[in-house]
Structure formats: structure tokens, C-alpha cells
Amino acid sequence: RKEVEQDPGPFNVPEGATVAFNCTYSNSASQSFFWYRQDCRKEPKLLMSVYSSGNEDGRFTAQLNRASQYISLLIRDSKLSDSATYLCVVKGDTGRRALTFGSGTRLQVQP
Amino acid sequence: EPEVTQTPSHQVTQMGQEVILRCVPISNHLYFYWYRQILGQKVEFLVSFYNNEISEKSEIFDDQFSVERPDGSNFTLKIRSTKLEDSAMYFCASSDGVADEQYFGPGTRLTVT
């Protein structure tokens, strides 16, 4: 089983749409969870950390379900500039700092 | 806003040659990392560095790789004898050691011919 699993997409959505991405992780001892965004041939950029209580940043909402080992990202009112690959990222056990990346979900927002 | 910088942006080298990739982490950060991304594949952890020593490394980080903090600002990755399969984007990242968030530099594209 892959450590961090994501649907590769692509998700093609019109501007203004709401889109949701899901991710599952295999290590139940994982401590921290993130969504990063990666544009073509660029570096991963931190979009948001994901907390057990769920968190929201503007049009973006992230949720974590530790029991199901499942993370989600919801994007409301999609903009053309949201087109990118969204990476689900997990940090392992306490004492380990390495991030484990999913393969990413590609989003294409169309006019 | 402080950011991680990396040089060069693109490095072309011949198989068997040594390369050094350079990074300047965010100035008040204490943990430094190297990751790589082979074209079309996911980002993979190589090594983390804290207090002038390696704190964690992956299976990819074998004897041909080494890291160093030669001065107070630079953090380097050396690949001793490059192979064709080392061709990838190499990202440096840093974190402050309090929060778990890591911030990535723009990467160095290494092409081994």
C-alpha cells in the first residue's frame, strides 16, 4: 500500500465551481498533515496545514479524519489561478521530520 | 517575506562527475532538508540536517551523497559520482524546529548526460 495515496486526476472544473480532493495515508502514527500546491516544474508551496478540528483559509477548507486516516481539501469558487497540482503531505512519527508526499492531484480550472 | 534560495537553477554534468548544489535556508530556521523529484514522479525525501549533523536520511541517500553547512548561511548537497538516474529536480527546504511546516526553495534541475 502506498504511504500517501491520491487520485491523480485531472479534475477539470469551470471557474466558480467547488472541487474536493481526498487523500489517504498508511502510517497511523503520522503526526502532521499538509496540503502543498505545485505548479509545473516549480517547488511545492505550502497551502495549509491540516488540523484534527478542521481548518479554513479563505476559499480553502481542510479536514482530517485520524480514525479513517483520511485528509481532504475543498476549494470553493475556483479561480483560473487555482490550476495546479495539489500534494497531500504527511509527517511521520514524533522525532521524524521527513515529509512523505503523495503523487498529487492535478486541477485544471477552465474559463 | 523570507525565502529559501538555491543555486544554480540548472546544472548539466557528465556521468561520473561530482556536483555541488547550494542552498541558503531561511535565516532563523534550524532544520534543513534535501528532497528530489524525478520528472513525472513524486517528491522524495533525501536527508535532514540539524545542529551540524544528519538527523535523518532515506534509502536514496547512499554513500555517493553528502551534505554540509560550510558557513553560517549555506547548506550544500554533494553528489560524488553522478549517474544518469540522478537526473532530477533537487529541492532544499528549511523549518524553524518549532512548527512542522517546511518551506521549499525553487530547486536545482540536475541533468546528467
What pLDDT digit, counting tens, does each position of B17-73 carry? 999 999 999 999 999 999 999 999 999 999 999 999 999 999 999 999 999 998 888
Contact criterion met (CB < 8 Å) for A99 and B102 = yes
Chain B: closest CA distance from residue A23 (Å)? 14
pLDDT tens-place string over residues A43-66: 999 999 998 888 999 999 999 999
Does A97 contact B101 at a Cβ distance shorter than 8 Å? Answer: no
pLDDT tens per residue across span B65-105: 999 998 888 999 999 999 999 999 999 999 998 889 999 99
Contact B104 A103 (CB under 8 A): no
Dihedrals phi, psi of B86, to nearest 5 degrees: -80, -10
- Residue B84 DSSP SS3: helix
pLDDT digits (tens, 9 = 90+) for A69-81: 999 999 999 999 9
**Chain A interface mutation, best of B30, B43, B50, highest count of A Cβ atoms under 10 Å:** B43
Name which of A37, A86, A20, A98 is nearest B33 in CA terms: A98
